[in-house]
Structure 1
Amino acid sequence: MRISEETVRKLVAAQFPEWTDLPVRQVRSAGTVNAIFRIGAGLTARFPLRDIESGNERASETERDSEIEQVRQEIEAEARAARLLHGKTRFGTPEPVAIGEPGYGYPLPWSVQTWLPGTIATDDDPGDSEPFARDLAELITAMRAVGTEGRTFDGRGRGGVIADHEGWVQTCLTESERLLPVPRLRRLWEAMRELPRGSDKDVMTHGDLMPGNMLVAAGRLAGVLDVGGFRPADPALDLTCAWHLLEPGPRRVLRAELGCDDLEWARGRAWAFEQSLGLVWYYETSNPVMSGIGRRTLERILSG
């Protein structure tokens, strides 16, 4: 799905006239879920990339209304999660501002949040920075301290039981035969899928601490993006950042700062494996940056 700056200008002018005179420009991003636009200096608009008009040509008006409402509920849930995290760490996170409505050819609700300064880690690699690793440990510790309020993992996506992803991993291994050293990866997965959960209880997690969601300044963590998935999950889930973002030395610093035992650390490696294995083949042509992130993470995992 594509959305133009002109469409965004029209939507903003019609629904938020107080921002009519602010410049609108699209933000380059390797993200796969939303198109991102800046509104002035302090705001960001996020447009879900789900084309219900062309994807459901025979869908009834009721079915389309139902999908629009589903997207609205997802955006509202993301806003609640963002508000829950905002101000709970010393690192910047986006703050929800408004929810927009469909219009001018764009078929879905969309959101507005505050803009955060910084450079994403895909453009300013912090992998060799031990201070950055300590920042990550501080971030993870602060998020866990928020507390789950009695909630547990809701069953969506990653963060429950690693073995539940067996079907997806096997699909990825099959699709990756010409791209990756699949025999080695199969052997790794055979051990990873047997990892027990142990006695670790769910904690609050970001769930997607990848380079594109981390803002960096001078080798330090400056902010965290895409916080709408902040929710209870396996505490090892956020350890994926150890392989997505860090080289061996800083990775050891992160582990020491968090005090991870062998089992939790192994599960974090397994979650990073499961996520990255899907990125390489799935985005090979449609999003080479994302595919490259997956390949680099797998190389780090294979290196031990």
Structure 2
Amino acid sequence: MTPPTGIDDRPEIGTALVRRLVDAQFPQWAGLSLTRVEPAGSDHVIHRLGDGLAVRLPCHRGAVGQAAKEMEWLPRLAPHLPLAVPAPVAVGAPGFGYPWPWAVARWLDGEVATVDALSHSRPAAIAMARFLRALRSVPVPGGGPGLIERDEATRAAIAETAGVFDAPAMTDLWDAALAAPPWGRDPVWVHGDLHTGNLLTDGGRLSAVIDFGNLGAGDPACDLTIAFTLMSPACRTAFRDALATDEATWTRGRGWALSTGLNALTHYADDARVVAQTTRQITQALLG
């Protein structure tokens, strides 16, 4: 989850603006209906365009660049993945006062995943493990950040939330994650922001993974956060077994879950939905 980068970075994005951008830059879609999608998450304003397209505009600077990244990489990754992912069809340019590139992609049917729907679903846990195994199998250049880059911010968040959670237990978990042996193999593809809001279900089954703004190469432990945001302990065990995750990677994954949960909690403290989700994430990370 990308934190907000300040009120000054948030342009007004109304349906009238999106209509003007679409009609001016993609006149072939000017006759299609346009309907805002709610809720749309924290990084983009989303509109459904006709029956088959989605228009996504970054609503803060931290989400800029996702359109180009997805346009470049998702068509290459999609054939290797067992779950649906967004299929970009166009990247729009700034205009009419809107300052950043934006994207049009194929509409994905489904509902946003919830803990109530999937936390006790072993098939969903296995499907998530298969998706991550497939994602990791695709060759990737370069490397990405590790846990150590998050150390200062995580320790500050532990101190800030000490009245809510067990600060010594969080510190012990974080110290153990930093001390765990690092990923010693080639970097692999990671989604980078796996939580329930970025998963879709169809007919009660996990069907799609969306929002690849943090896609990159690095330590696969960062994607283990989904085990703590979504799964019950029993399903978490099934997920770990299906993914064949070693102890060191699992320990680092708990650290990623703790760090991202604390980051979201401290940045979105006034959002009850985020507070509930991240409280569960932190609690489950502490349980292991």
Give the TM-score taking structure 1 as reference length.
Answer: 0.84
Give how far 1:47 is off: 0.8
Residue 172 (structure 1) aligned with residue 157 (structure 2):
yes
* Equivalence map 1:134-145=2 (5 Å): 134-145=126-137
Structure 2, unmatched stretches of 5+, are 1-9
CA distance in 1, matches of 2:112, 2:92: 26
Change (3 A) 1:45 1:123: farther
Partner SS state of residue 149, structure 2: helix
Give how far 1:124 is off: 5.8
Residue 220 (structure 1) aligned with residue 210 (structure 2):
no
Alignment partner, residue 252 of structure 2: 267
Alignment partner, residue 6 of structure 2: none
Question: Cα RMSD between the aligned structures?
Answer: 2.1
Residue number among 263, 266, 272 corresponding to 1:281 in the alignment:
266
Residue 105 (structure 1) aligned with residue 97 (structure 2):
yes
CA distance in 2, matches of 1:264, 1:254: 14
Counterpart contact for 2:53–2:107, Cα < 8 Å: yes
Residue 194 (structure 1) aligned with residue 194 (structure 2):
no
Q: Report which stretch shifted further, 243-252 or 189-198.
A: 189-198
Partner SS state of residue 199, structure 1: coil
CA distance in 2, matches of 1:198, 1:211: 25
Amino acid at match of 1:10: R
Amino acid at match of 2:99: P
Give how far 1:95 is off: 0.9
Structure 1, unmatched stretches of 5+, are 52-66, 155-159
CA distance in 2, matches of 1:44, 1:274: 31
Partner SS state of residue 196, structure 1: coil
Residue 49 (structure 1) aligned with residue 86 (structure 2):
no
What's the % identity of the aligned pairs?
Answer: 34
* Alignment: residue pair count: 278
Partner SS state of residue 162, structure 2: coil
Give the TM-score taking structure 2 as reference length.
Answer: 0.89
Alignment partner, residue 8 of structure 1: 18
Residue 292 (structure 1) aligned with residue 276 (structure 2):
yes
Partner SS state of residue 220, structure 2: coil
Q: Report which stretch shifted further, 198-207 or 6-15.
A: 198-207
Counterpart contact for 2:115–2:231, Cα < 8 Å: no
